[in-house]
């Protein structure tokens, strides 16, 4: 067995051992940060989220299944309504940004079209 193959085997075994340790450390660091963030903002965030979810629930066009789900989520003081509100906001903001971009792009295309065909 050559020295290069022994070094390669050693490095492979080290990487296998450290991969799981580093993954566990990173996951615990991330979850600790999320827990600290939610614990620090829990009272304000839960109140704000419950107010906004209640507005969604009280809207006449909201389906009954969604109303029941919101009622269950806002019954306690868990941070789940905050997470739900963040997801809802993301699904509202992403299409808005995309539609703004598409609108700007369509306006640019219309301007270019008018410039090209103005003389004809």
What string of pLDDT tens digits covers the 120 residues of the chain? 688 888 889 888 888 888 878 888 888 887 787 777 767 666 666 677 777 778 888 888 888 887 887 777 777 666 666 677 777 777 777 777 777 777 666 666 667 666 666 655
DSSP string for residues in 74-118: TSS--SHHHHHHHHHHHHHHHHHHHHHHHHHHHHHHHHHHHHHHT
d(CA 36, CA 104): 40
d(CA 73, CA 65): 12
> Can you give the pTM of this predicted structure?
0.36
pLDDT at 12: 87
- pLDDT tens for each residue of 67-83: 887 777 777 666 666 67
Nearest Cα residue to 38 out of 51, 49, 27: 49
């Amino acid at each position: 067995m050559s020295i290069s193959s022994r070094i390669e085997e050693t490095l492979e075994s080290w990487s296998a051992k450290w991969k799981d340790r580093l993954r566990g450390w990173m996951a615990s660091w991330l979850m600790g940060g999320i827990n600290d963030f939610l614990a620090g903002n829990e009272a304000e965030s839960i109140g704000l989220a419950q107010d906004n979810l209640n507005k969604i629930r009280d809207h006449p066009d909201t389906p009954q299944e969604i109303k029941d789900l919101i009622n269950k989520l806002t019954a306690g003081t868990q941070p789940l309504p905050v997470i739900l509100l963040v997801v809802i906001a993301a699904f509202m903001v992403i299409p808005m940004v995309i539609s703004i971009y598409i609108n700007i792009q369509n306006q640019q295309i219309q301007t270019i079209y008018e410039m090209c065909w103005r003389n004809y």
